[in-house]
Structure 1
Amino acid sequence: MKRINSIKLKNFKFFYDEETLKFNKKNILVYGENGSGKSSLYWALYTFLQSSFKDDEGVKKYFDKENSQNLINKFVDDLQKDDAFIELELIDTNLQKTTTYKISKNIINTNKKEDTQIKKANLTSDFINYRLLSKIYDFKNSQDIDLWSFFEDYILDFIVFTESEYENLANFWEYLKKGLEKINNRYPTITSSIYKDFQSQITKFNEKMENLLNEISRNTNKLLQNAFKENIEIKFSYKKATYNDFLPNSKKRNHKTLPPKINIEVTFFDEKIDKPHTFLNEARLTAIALSIRFAILKNRLIRDDVLKILVLDDLLISLDMSKRFEVIDILLNDEDLKEYQKIILTHDRGFFNLMLQKINQFEWKIFEFYNKKENGIEKQCIKEYKDNLTKARELFENQDFDTSANYLRKEAESILKKFLDPNLKYINREFQNLEELIRRVKNELDNEFINKFNRVFKFTKKENEDLIFIYEKELLEKIDTDFENDNNLDPNQKGKLRGLKKKLFDFTKEYYEIKKVELEIFNELKKIKDRVLNPASHNSEAPLFKKEIEEAIELIHRLKEFLKDKKTKREIKPTQVNCSQNREVENSFPNWTSNIVIEPKEIIKNIRNTNS
């Protein structure tokens, strides 16, 4: 598998002087303020891959200060402008072998015939930003959606066409749209072999486009219905490209190739929508556009072992929170997209925090982009993101115990909120305080064991709308007797009781093992809450000691690991507190004990009470 290991930029667009971003083969998440260089990274990667399809002169212009199309940082002096470049280090993760590619005014090694790695990467990678996405539905009310221009500008380059001397549909269309040239000042006649061959090429192009659109619409509808949970179905209506049509109201022909039209037909809850861009809201239109783009990407997949990147820049501006979850789920879990190194750029702090909660941070590198001014010149300021626990550890090493404790509190709150709100529905709302968070998480863990107990010992099926219990009440009463020697029980009943007894044993063992760890963690959390995790206590005369912080860091790490794969099974809303109120949580900590005693008779009593 190929991955970007690092990218080095010098004097390219917003990037001033030289900057190296170490990707370390990982996916990338970037939060960046507007004007911090975030989009410059997007265009650096795009320009780099696109260079594989250009000749040297087509690439050099971006780094030539004399060329009006150059992409050199405007603030660097003339001498520095001669040294602008983009450099990528790729790594083969299987062989652990690196290869460096570079584009600049003097060095270009991305477009050579003997090395097609970047060219193949360009064919299978994709770049999507909000502006590009909106082109799929940004039409006037009086217009029908026609996606031909979108396909011509952004898609055809990447559709490989192996049945022709032209390597992709874009090159094939470039040939066809020129039409036939005159020979001896006359166009070829319709009976000539040149004419017939050209018309057969037009037919081949239309067939290729129709097959492509059918495949895209099939995958689009899958995504809309399965991923976005929308009752929407789309269909492309393809009006074929033609050559040499009759002129209007005339017997003369136009001797031109007319482009096709690609209209979208949308069915919403089984009702056909004539102009979807005037009827559907922007969130649904964005869902359709995203589904089309992802479907196109799936159609472009190259199964070869080449670099595949998916770069997304401020993609979800118009989506509400529920739709953002669905997009994130596609990005993280879609089987086809798992092959891609994802580079996600956003200026939306809420979305950035949402991604932090959802991703496995061992598989991602996370950066924050800011801008700074030095001598009147704006420059990039790039920091590698660190979570609160990492910051707390670093501050602890630097003997800043008070600040370390504050970050530990933030991390504890984040861990507990994630458990209570696993779908992040209330990510922008606050729970009342840390004590409430701890209490509610503890209660939920207890409730989950009660619910699990009921699932194991209650009932399994419905019969004539009545609940049938696995274990009848009379039979349950025999569990704590010598039922093996009870002549009133048949073998089937005794078998049920043996099964129940084993389940009780297994459940009790599991309960003990998990609750022992849980109680240790939460009892320790209770102890350090007021002393270490309370900001007000840091202003007291009693200083925080190194040992206290060291133990707190270890405890928060244990809490994180303990709750890592757990989440509440029901929706837990934050407590609503009137802003004029200033009250403590009514229910403080229960008196938990680390002495776990489970009496089988008490369990049986619970079963009997439940069934009765």
Structure 2
Amino acid sequence: MKRIQKLHLRNFKAFRDQEFDFTGGPHDPDGRNVLVYGNNGSGKSSVFWALYTFLQSVGKTPPTDIAKYFVPLRDGAPETYESLRYVFAGPDEEASIKLTWADLPGAATVTTQQLGLDKAGADPLNEQQPLSVAQRTRTGPASGTDTTIREALLSSDFIHYRFLQDFYQRSNREGVNLWPVFMRDLFPFYQTPLFSTPAGNPQYLEEVLRIVLETAHSRRRWEKKPKEEFEADYITRANEAIGLFVNSVQTNANAFLRDQFLGGDESLQIELNFTKQLTFDLLRFAPLSAIQREWRNNIEDLAIILSVRALRPGHSEVRHYRPQSFLNEAQLTRIALAVRLGALLTRPANSTLKLLCLDDLLISLDMGNRKHVLDWLFGDNGKYCQEYQIFFFTHDRELYRMLKHYIGRPHSGKWRVLELVNNEQFPKPQPSLLDGDSNDHFTQAWRRFQAEDFPACANYLRKETERLLKEILPPADLYMYPNEKGETIPMPMGTQLDKLQQLFIKLGKGDNMGKLHDLQLFKQILLNPLSHDSFSTTVYQSELHTMLVDTIPELQKMRRSVVAELPSTGQKLIYLTETDSENTRYTYTIELYETLWAYTFPDGSVAYSHPACQVLERIDDKGKKTVFNKKQGTCEGLADGYRRICFALGKKPEGGGQPIPLLPKPLHTIITTTI
């Protein structure tokens, strides 16, 4: 059994660069079922279509069939109109979907594959430059040889709310013809025993239809056989295969409708009739596109008609051939779900990676009918939650709360809950990812922003800023000395922000503050006023959004960690090793008077604090010891001590030409806490 651990989208649909982690964290690396909540436009469907596109790629040939989803969209170039590329991406930027999956349990074997276009190369849709296509199309699913992904495609299902529209977005004069639905969503995944592959395996129904169509169009082939023989070998068997599949879907759909929605009642039944079937003349004279991959569009005038049979005690049976005129939207939704989930039960069961992706599937149902579907999904001792990796997407807050209740039940498996947020009024919407199980200040700020409760949003942003400053600044920069009552008083936020700027400058990062330069401004116009008088202060919505998407995430990247901490009693010694110009190795014993900190900055660089210290002694590699008195060994800081050591050894320290000499990076190459 395998599960997806991570999904990384780069310039795909709504996302510029976003990684989704579906595990339980470093100590629980197994991929989980996933619940994603977000308002319209927040990027939920982008995740849905990323998973769908990745799995579908195994059946795409040539490479341009994959590349078309990642190329820049160009006016007047129809070959780019299927692009799913992030619209604000530059023409030379990478666009890709990266998927990581692993075995259960424990993620013993981890596999990562990437699909998309890199930064280099010519136009990948130019058929005159096939090499550039190969260079820009990543290996992996695009090659069509990955067994795991191919099996996952055939065993998984992606059910989108638009699927339901095929059932009831028709006039009352029309019947409901589900042939396009079967062609698009069902035939590619059903194996019929009536046709075999060259290897002797059952053939997929979509492939059967392609072969029949091409054979009917091939004059060289059909002229060698009488029409009757061709019909017996191909058309009659193909119609029989389609009929058997349609009947199996009907049987499963009625069982689902009866057991999940009607409480065992069989008074309402679905009928699927393959009324307009394949004929030789229909196939022979159908227009065959020169582009073979569009052959599906050339099989027309076929029909699988949906009707409803109503059985009422004491009354005659009634058939409704236009159910959209007889049933309401909720009832039609139940039928559509029954048909689609009935087809799911015909899928191969032997895949090690099986996904069930449901995008806003229950929005047309009331709470009672939603409960019926969720009872099925989470019932049978969690059968489907264990057999499939479920991805459930919704924008409905009540359904989201309902689902969170269900996933907390026994046997529902482990779940990862995520929230996506976006604000459509900004020119370049950037979805942000939140932990749906979290109620921290930052998550609450986003939720208040989405609800347009801007004063509360600002209040939570202030709390998050205070929390982060406590994690980043050393204790001496956070608190004032005890007052006359002996109380330690926190410094005002403005003072703490000044200390943050001084920290950047002191450690040689003054030019790297970037988006953090605006913290003081935001503190003055947003955080401070709104915390005291939220009703009379003008709320700057754009600035709040900037804090949410830029400033606070940048501050969250900063870290302060202990390298060497002062004990409550006794000395704290560290040992610094360096060589002189003749390559003689010396180990210096240094006593720290302050804690030695390591700071990670938003750009990923690391710098170290300069605690006051004293060099006590040194020992060379032959065991000769030199002891320093207090005047000789006292240093303004560790960097000052290192600079003096280097000059004494005839070496120039790294960063020695700067106003405040910096310690080498990485620090662990010259300093240890034990000898």
Report the CA distance shift for 1:59/1:187 in structure 2 as closer, same or farther (over 3 A): closer
- CA RMSD, 1 decimal: 3.2
Look up the equivalent residue of 1:154 and give its one-letter code.
D
Residue 125 (structure 1) shift: 0.7
Aligned residues of 1:2 and 1:306 also touching (Cα < 8 A): yes
Determine the structure 2 residue equivalent to 1:508: none
In the aligned structure 2, how far is the partner of 1:54 from the partner of 1:168? 16
Matched, 1:277 2:324: yes
Determine the structure 2 residue equivalent to 1:316: 362
Report the CA distance shift for 1:17/1:210 in structure 2 as closer, same or farther (over 3 A): same
Out of 239, 242, 263, the position equivalent to 1:209 is 242
Q: Secondary structure at the match of 1:233?
A: strand
| Unpaired segments ≥5 residues, structure 1 | 247-252, 395-401, 404-612
Aligned residues of 1:179 and 1:255 also touching (Cα < 8 A): no
Residue 13 (structure 1) shift: 0.5
**1:116-127 matches, cutoff 5 A:** 116-127=147-158
Matched, 1:348 2:396: yes
Determine the structure 2 residue equivalent to 1:87: 98
Aligned residues of 1:147 and 1:263 also touching (Cα < 8 A): yes
In the aligned structure 2, how far is the partner of 1:258 from the partner of 1:352? 41
Residue 391 (structure 1) shift: 8.4
Aligned residues of 1:16 and 1:380 also touching (Cα < 8 A): no
Task: With a CA cutoff of 8 Å and minimum separation of 6, indicate the structure with the bigger relative contact order.
Answer: 1
In the aligned structure 1, how far is the partner of 2:273 from the partner of 2:418? 43
Residue 111 (structure 1) shift: 4.0
Determine the structure 1 residue equivalent to 2:616: none
Aligned residues of 1:243 and 1:258 also touching (Cα < 8 A): no
- Number of aligned residue pairs: give it: 384
Q: Deviations over 1:188-234 (max 9, x none)?
A: 49xx4465134331111111112112211111111111111264211
Report the CA distance shift for 1:140/1:376 in structure 2 as closer, same or farther (over 3 A): closer
Matched, 1:291 2:298: no
Determine the structure 2 residue equivalent to 1:599: none
Matched, 1:131 2:162: yes
Determine the structure 2 residue equivalent to 1:328: 374
In the aligned structure 1, how far is the partner of 2:310 from the partner of 2:304? 19
In the aligned structure 2, how far is the partner of 1:312 from the partner of 1:87? 21
Matched, 1:33 2:44: no
In the aligned structure 2, how far is the partner of 1:255 from the partner of 1:196? 20
Residue 182 (structure 1) shift: 6.8
In the aligned structure 2, how far is the partner of 1:333 from the partner of 1:169? 31
Aligned residues of 1:242 and 1:258 also touching (Cα < 8 A): no
Aligned residues of 2:68 and 2:82 also touching (Cα < 8 A): yes
Matched, 1:62 2:79: no
Aligned residues of 1:180 and 1:188 also touching (Cα < 8 A): no
Report the CA distance shift for 1:317/1:370 in structure 2 as closer, same or farther (over 3 A): same
Residue 289 (structure 1) shift: 0.5
Residue 376 (structure 1) shift: 4.4
In the aligned structure 2, how far is the partner of 1:130 from the partner of 1:377? 26
Determine the structure 2 residue equivalent to 1:556: none
Aligned residues of 2:99 and 2:112 also touching (Cα < 8 A): yes
In the aligned structure 2, how far is the partner of 1:20 from the partner of 1:170? 33
Aligned residues of 1:111 and 1:119 also touching (Cα < 8 A): no
Q: Secondary structure at the match of 2:252?
A: helix
Q: Secondary structure at the match of 1:307?
A: coil
Aligned residues of 1:314 and 1:345 also touching (Cα < 8 A): yes
In the aligned structure 1, how far is the partner of 2:359 from the partner of 2:208? 30
Report the CA distance shift for 1:35/1:199 in structure 2 as closer, same or farther (over 3 A): same
Report the CA distance shift for 1:75/1:204 in structure 2 as closer, same or farther (over 3 A): same
Report the CA distance shift for 1:241/1:336 in structure 2 as closer, same or farther (over 3 A): farther
Matched, 1:75 2:106: no
Aligned residues of 1:228 and 1:323 also touching (Cα < 8 A): yes
Q: Deviations over 1:249-286 (max 9, x none)?
A: xxxx9799875421123122444232211001111110
Q: Secondary structure at the match of 2:272?
A: strand
| Unpaired segments ≥5 residues, structure 2 | 24-29, 74-79, 118-135, 288-298, 445-458, 461-675
In the aligned structure 2, how far is the partner of 1:4 from the partner of 1:36? 22
Aligned residues of 2:15 and 2:43 also touching (Cα < 8 A): yes
Determine the structure 2 residue equivalent to 1:115: 146
In the aligned structure 2, how far is the partner of 1:79 from the partner of 1:117? 31
In the aligned structure 1, how far is the partner of 2:353 from the partner of 2:217? 41
Q: Deviations over 1:491-515 (max 9, x none)?
A: xxxxxxxxxxxxxxxxxxxxxxxxx
Out of 241, 249, 257, the position equivalent to 1:224 is 257
Matched, 1:141 2:192: no
Report the CA distance shift for 1:182/1:228 in structure 2 as closer, same or farther (over 3 A): closer
Q: Deviations over 1:536-572 (max 9, x none)?
A: xxxxxxxxxxxxxxxxxxxxxxxxxxxxxxxxxxxxx
Residue 242 (structure 1) shift: 3.5
Q: Percent identity?
A: 33
Aligned residues of 1:224 and 1:287 also touching (Cα < 8 A): yes
Determine the structure 2 residue equivalent to 1:22: 22
Determine the structure 1 residue equivalent to 2:278: 242
Please report the TM-score for the alignment, with normalisation by the length of structure 2. Answer: 0.52
